Amino acid sequence: MLSGERGTSRSRAVKEVQTGLNQLTRGLRMLAREIMKEAGRAGRVGRTRVSPGRRLHGRYIGLIRNLPARKKAQVRAVRAKKGVEAAIKMAVDMRRSR
C-alpha cells in the first residue's frame, strides 16, 4: 500500500466516524426532546388540590413560625377566641411591626 492510499482511507474513516457522531447526536437530541415532553405531561397529572381549610392552616403556621414565644401565645389566644382568619391578620400585623 502506498502512503497516499493510507491517507485516503484514514480521511474516509474519519468522515465515517464524524457522520456516525452526527447521527448519534441528532438521535440523542430527539430523544431528549421526547423525554422533556413526557416529563412535562407527567408533572401536571400528579398534582393534587389542597382544600381551603388546609391552605388556611398552612398560612397560619407559616406566619407564626418565626414569631417570638410571647407573640405566638397572643396569636394562639386570638385563634382560640376569634378564629383562624383573625389570628392570621394579627400575625401579619405583628410581622410588619418588627
pLDDT tens per residue across span 37-50 = 887 776 565 668 89
Q: How far is CA 18 from CA 3, 8, 25, in A?
A: 23, 15, 10
Q: How far is CA 25 from CA 17, 21, 22, in A?
A: 12, 6, 5
Q: What is the pTM of this model?
A: 0.52
Q: Structural domain boundaries of the chain? A: 1-47, 52-96
Taking residues 17-35, report their average pLDDT: 92
Taking residues 3-26, report their average pLDDT: 86
Torsion sign across C-alpha atoms 52, 56, 62, 65: negative
Taking residues 83-94, report their average pLDDT: 94
Name the nearest CA neighbour of 66 among 78, 57, 75, 53: 75
At 89, list the grid cell: 391578620
Q: Check: CB of residue 79 under 8 Å from CB of residue 60.
A: yes
Does 21 score more than 70 pLDDT?
A: yes
pLDDT at 39: 78
